[in-house]
Amino acid sequence: MGKKVTVVGAGFYGTTTAQRLAEFDVFETVVLTDIVDGKPAGVALDLNQSRPIEGFETKVVGVTTGPNGEGYEAIEGSDVVVITAGLPRKPGMSRMDLLGTNAKIVRQVAENVAKYAPNAVVIVVSNPLDEMTALAQIATGFPRNRVLGQAGVLDTARFTNFVAEELGVPVKSVKTLTLGSHGDTMVPVPSHCTVDGKPLSDVMSADKIEELVVRTRNGGAEVVALLKTGSAYYAPSAAAARMAKAVAQDSGEVIPVCAWVDGEFGISGVYLGVLAEIDATGVRKVVETKLTDAELGSLKAAAEAVRAKQADVASM
Ligand SMILES: NC(=O)c1ccc[n+]([C@@H]2O[C@H](COP(=O)([O-])OP(=O)(O)OC[C@H]3O[C@@H](n4cnc5c(N)ncnc54)[C@H](O)[C@@H]3O)[C@@H](O)[C@H]2O)c1
């Protein structure tokens, strides 16, 4: 049997994710759902008509879902479900301003995912990311390793892009890392950043590194301020699609994700951005990266900042 992936939410993030997943040509089916009548079916039709040009065989199926779970039969048998449903930020808003509205949406979606795709690995992207990932795990009742969130692949890509542009080198020469939360307590980790294998601190001043760290932390808001009508989706969808592919291909690759941390780094009982091995089971293992004392301190502070909010979502 070929692999099946569902993308819930056919907004900017969901449609671009569905496109990337289809163009990988590794899934048999990509299901795209939304509550807006006709939109997912229209996008699916359009994407399927690109198949002869792009040269992929994956079939995209678009389904409108109802408030009582109508239409969710279409997701049955999904190996992976990517949840993008929820409002994006407007200029001036923080991700946390979306908490109440998106909690209702994510809970309703997650309950239906549990009912119709009980064996799926769930990748959450709706904001605020760390809290919505925790909520999706509670609402599905899935094992914690089977629910993860997308933030680190995107934040790391943003950091890498800024470093490559600043130094005028190809992005493939640059390796960076961000951990922590997808928000104000994001923890860029300069000690793990290299350019052509050399430590970043050898080729860039401390002030410039700090400037790019701050720009990375505000990377989403910078795009929101320019777009004015929504948030970023090209780099975010690339990140979520890459995670879904790692699950579908059982790759075991180590990537930064929002995962349940239980003892690693001396931190327990919280969803947090860390490096993890991703395979068909979701998070196979959280990788304990070696950190400087300052970086570890920042990671612990990030864990405490998101822990309280994640406890709140249980009752949302
Ligand atoms: N994790 C990240 O790195 C990251 C990056 C960018 C955006 N985001 C978040 O992703 C989410 C989606 O962003 P977007 O730009 O696609 O927004 P969008 O407004 O373009 O799309 C959201 C879609 O969700 C749909 N929706 C709402 N309730 C639903 C439900 N119950 N079931 C199914 N679909 C439902 C809406 O109809 C809409 O089409 C936002 O919360 C945004 O903040 C996260």
Q: Which residues are near ligand 1 (CB < 6 Å)?
A: 8-14, 33-36, 65, 84-89, 98, 102, 105, 108-109, 125-127, 129, 150-151, 154, 182, 230-233, 236
Q: Which of the four pLDDT bands, split at 50, 70 and 90, describes residue 184?
A: confident
User: How far is C-alpha 86 from the chain's CA centre?
Assistant: 14
What is the predicted pLDDT for the residue at 308? 86
In whole angstroms, what is the distance from residue 173 CA to residue 169 CA?
7
Give the residue with greater pLDDT, 77 vs 309.
Answer: 77
Cis peptide before 128 (omega within 30 of 0): yes
Q: At what angle do helices 99-116 and 129-140 cross, to 10 degrees?
A: 40
Q: Which of 182, 217, 242, 245 is catalytic?
A: 182
Provide the token pair at 215. Answer: 């720009």
**pLDDT at position 217 over 80:** yes
- What is the arithmetic mean of pLDDT over 197-201? 96
CB 299 within 8 A of CB 266: no
The CA 126 to ligand 1 mean position distance, Å, reads 6
- From the alpha carbon of 124, which atom of ligand 1 is closest? 1
pLDDT number for residue 52: 98
Q: What is the pLDDT, as a whole number, of residue 313?
A: 87
Which residue of 37, 39, 127, 255 sits with most ligand 1 atoms within 8 Å of its CB, as the best mutation to test the pocket? 127
Q: Which distant-in-sequence residues (6+ apart) come within 8 Å of 219 by Cβ? A: 154, 155, 158, 232
Over 90: is that where the pLDDT of 314 sits?
A: no
Cβ contacts of 57-60, under 8 Å, gap ≥ 24: 57/25, 58/21, 58/22, 58/23, 58/24, 58/25, 58/26, 58/27, 58/28, 58/29, 58/30, 59/28, 59/29, 59/30, 60/18, 60/22, 60/29, 60/30, 60/31, 60/32
Span 148-165, mean pLDDT?
97
Please count the CA atoms within 13 angstroms of the CA of 285 that sit on its side-chain side.
8
- Residue 230: C-alpha distances to residues 154, 215, 234, 256 (Å): 17, 19, 12, 25
Q: What is the pLDDT of residue 172?
A: 98
What does the pLDDT look like over 257-271, one tens digit per residue?
999 999 999 999 999
pLDDT at residue 41 above 90? yes
Mean pLDDT of 290-314: 91
The pTM assigned to this predicted structure is 0.97
| Centre of ligand 1 from the C-alpha of residue 84, in Å | 5
Residue 53: band (very low, low, confident or very high) from pLDDT cuts 50, 70, 90: very high
Average pLDDT, the chain: 96
Q: Is the pLDDT at 144 greater than 80, yes or no?
A: yes
